[in-house]
Amino acid sequence: MATYNELQALLTDDTLNKAENATADIISDILQGEDTEANGYDDLNHAQRAKWASENLGRVRDEAGKLLWPVLVKNQALTVEQIEAASVGDFKTQIKLFIIEYTNVVGA
């Protein structure tokens, strides 16, 4: 299990680059209308996701930094080694789930 200090250290690790790539992929999915249930999104609140994606298209790095922390905290049961070994696809899945949860709350 990763400690709080270890999670904090991951924010400046190459992990952030994976989060940036995953966030860019998600923004692209949403703006191209590919954020469908078949692609792992719920079919609720596309309008909220589209608004978020449009607002953050030019700020992928900033947004990835904001999204990385909740993903790390949600996966704190993993070791640092497991988190560092995660693929961009793994990060995309976790960030996507967070965005779905976030937009469902904001869009409610």
Instruction: Kindly report, residue by residue over 53-72, the tens digit of the pLDDT.
Output: 999 899 998 889 889 999 99
* 54 vs 38: CA distance, rounded Å: 22
Shortest CA distance to 16 belongs to which of 52, 60, 74? 60
pLDDT digits (tens, 9 = 90+) for 2-29: 999 999 999 988 888 999 999 999 999 9
pLDDT computed for residue 107 by the predictor: 57
Contact 90, 19 (CB under 8 A): no
Lowest average pLDDT, out of 44-48, 50-54, 71-75, 84-88, goes to 44-48
Residues 6+ apart with CB under 8 A from 82: none
* 81 vs 75: CA distance, rounded Å: 12
C-alpha distances (whole Å) from 69 to each of 64, 86, 95 are: 9, 15, 10
At 75, is the pLDDT very low, low, confident or very high (cuts 50, 70, 90)? Answer: very high
Residue in this structure with the two tokens 């999915």, named with its chain if needed: 29
Instruction: Find the largest Cα–Cα distance for the chain.
Output: 38
What are the sequence ranges of the domains in the chain? 4-107
Q: What percent of the chain has pLDDT over 70?
A: 97
Q: Share the mean pLDDT of the chain.
A: 89
pLDDT computed for residue 89 by the predictor: 93
Tell me how crowded residue 54 is: count the other CB atoms within 10 A of its CB.
12
